Structure 1
Amino acid sequence: MSTDERAEAITAFHASLDGPTWRVAGWGSPELQRMRFEALTRTTDYTGGTVLDWGCGPGDLYFHLRSLHHPLTYSGLDLNPAMVALAKTRAVPAVTLGQTPEGHHDYVFLSGVFQFADPSDPLYYLNILEHAYDISGRAVAANFLSPNRPQAATAEDELYPDPSVLTKFAAALTDRWRLDHAYHPQGADFTLALLR
């Protein structure tokens, strides 16, 4: 599966969803979305600054970050034109269409980006994380579906990376990293943070 094929799969998945923004973004409930957002900020010791929301969807993370009352200069990037349009209707600032961000940001957050597996490039997510780390000044954090997820809650085409692969990758980049596998019911999700 190429990058374009992954983008098509993601766009098709979200096109099949409707309702509130948390559902359009693919989350099971607003509480599950909030838990993931809290894991991003907690694992990075987030205190405000410039934030890139890579895979911003409808911009829900922007509203979560704003509610924390830290200084915030936000930018969002998404490969799905419908998501970018929806975020703009909600007055989410600095949202653009694209796949690979540039510039430099204090924090880079990736929530829900790594949904689909890619049999032709099974570790594709490591390249994305490395790029995110390269453009970050303080920290990067990403959520992943856990391989410990109950069988009934899995799908054949989804990505369930091995946390041990991610910890080896993290340790090769930085001696400051965290893996949080404790916040989600049934251990169905985890967050990796890479700190500067």
Structure 2
Amino acid sequence: MHLLDRLSIRLYHDERLKQYAGDHARSLGWNSTESQFLRFKTIAKAVNFDGKRVLDLGCGYGDFKTFLDMSCCVESYTGVDQQGSFIKQAKKHFEHQQNCAFIKGDFSSTTLPTADIVVASGSLNYRSRNKTYHAKVIRTMYEKAEEAVVFNLLNRNHFKETNLLEAHDPQQVLSYCLSLCPNCELIDDYADEDFTIVMRKLS
């Protein structure tokens, strides 16, 4: 990701942290915890995470790990985020869980570990000066996944774009994903402004 894009994101979250200190979901940019967890529920319903190695790109505070802990037991969880304050709090919160690791860095350029399932919830919504950014990240996610990739994006048909956030056409994204993986699913029945793509590798 371009340095100026990263700076815009950092400033945005710094301001959200000032506004919503103590509220994980809103400091991350979600409208509410319910909105954040609705995405998590959609992801968890699409793929079985039990006993899997999970790579969470744009992990924030590790809230998806907290969500998974309520319903299953993953083999390992690795979260990646460029916001140092998020990673610091995540490491502190999960310090007693040996199956957790957190990496501070831009997941579009950081060397990533492989995992059974690669997830990105909300973290691909930011606008990029590089027009091929999202396609490259999706390809990298697919390369790093042994079993499946699950990510969500803002729906261009319902979401009004901003200077920071970019929306996408669900069918166009699905078409690109199908060019990489023949087993893809589009899920768009849980929120008007959002859609989820699942890419499953054939065993």
TM-score, structure 2 as length reference: 0.86
Tell me which residue corresponds to 1:195. Answer: 200
- For 1:45 and 1:165, locate their aligned partners in 2 and report how far apart those are by CA, in whole Å: 26
Structure 2 counterparts to residues 1-196 of structure 1, below 5 A: 3-17=2-16, 18-19=20-21, 20-91=23-94, 93-99=100-106, 100-118=110-128, 120-151=129-160, 154-184=161-191, 187-196=192-201
Q: Deviations over 1:135-157 (max 9, x none)?
A: 10111111111112254xx4243
Once the two structures are TM-superposed, the CA of residue 132 in structure 1 deviates from its matched residue by: 0.6
Q: Report if aligned partners of 1:174, 1:194 keep a CA contact under 8 Å in 2.
A: yes
Once the two structures are TM-superposed, the CA of residue 58 in structure 1 deviates from its matched residue by: 1.0
- For 1:133 and 1:14, locate their aligned partners in 2 and report how far apart those are by CA, in whole Å: 27
Once the two structures are TM-superposed, the CA of residue 50 in structure 1 deviates from its matched residue by: 0.3
Q: Report if aligned partners of 1:43, 1:178 keep a CA contact under 8 Å in 2.
A: no
- For 1:48 and 1:16, locate their aligned partners in 2 and report how far apart those are by CA, in whole Å: 37
Aligned length: 190
Gapped regions of structure 2 (runs ≥ 5):
none
Q: Report if aligned partners of 1:52, 1:75 keep a CA contact under 8 Å in 2.
A: yes
- For 1:166 and 1:44, locate their aligned partners in 2 and report how far apart those are by CA, in whole Å: 19
Indicate the percent of aligned positions where both proteins have the same amino acid: 25
- For 1:150 and 1:75, locate their aligned partners in 2 and report how far apart those are by CA, in whole Å: 30
Q: Report if aligned partners of 1:51, 1:107 keep a CA contact under 8 Å in 2.
A: yes
Letter in 2 for 1:117: R
Secondary structure class of the residue paired with 1:94: strand
Q: Deviations over 1:90-116 (max 9, x none)?
A: 126311111234221000100111222
Gapped regions of structure 1 (runs ≥ 5):
none
Let me know the Cα RMSD of the aligned residues.
Answer: 1.7
Letter in 2 for 1:172: S
- For 1:62 and 1:10, locate their aligned partners in 2 and report how far apart those are by CA, in whole Å: 23
Letter in 2 for 1:6: D
Letter in 1 for 2:194: D
Change (3 A) 1:150 1:112: closer
TM-score, structure 1 as length reference: 0.89
Secondary structure class of the residue paired with 2:167: coil
Q: Deviations over 1:10-53 (max 9, x none)?
A: 21111111231111111111111111111222233444410011
Once the two structures are TM-superposed, the CA of residue 172 in structure 1 deviates from its matched residue by: 0.6
